[in-house]
Structures are given as structure tokens and as C-alpha cells.
Amino acid sequence: MRAVSRARLGVNDRSVVLYVGGASPWQKTDLMMDVFTALRTRLPSAFFLIITSDAQAFRALALV
């Protein structure tokens, strides 16, 4: 099941950081995005999988 899910997402052997939650201010989503950006400087193949009902808020953060 894991292999099927990874293949479907196209992440295969990549390291995946998973966030499940919203984008309320107390969840510090801007800081979370900064941390992931810093991680990618050390691990360029890292993939950030965000499962949320606030997709628009995360899209806006990703474009900054």
C-alpha cells in the first residue's frame, strides 16, 4: 500500500515531509514553509505533502 501511494504521488524514494492540518495563524504555517525551504537546501529531493482543507492559503504561501 505504501509503494502504491508513493508511486501515485510520484515521490517513490524521495523523503516526504507530511503536514495534516489547517492554516490558522496559531499553526505557524509561514514558519513551517520556511523550515521546509531550509530543508530543501540540504535535501533538494524532499517533497512537502500538505493535506488540508485550506489549500488556497498554502498555495499563497508557496508562491511567496
Q: What is the pLDDT along the chain (64 residues), one digit of tens a residue?
A: 999 999 999 999 999 999 999 999 999 998 998 999 999 999 999 999 999 998 888 888 877 5
pLDDT of residue 3: 92
- Say if CB 51 and CB 18 are below 8 A apart: yes
Angle at 16 between CA 14 and CA 24, to 5 degrees: 155
Q: Does pTM surpass 0.75?
A: yes
Distant-in-sequence, close-in-space partners of 45: CB < 8 Å, separation ≥ 6 = 14, 15
pLDDT of residue 64: 55
Q: Give me 46's grid cell.
A: 524532499
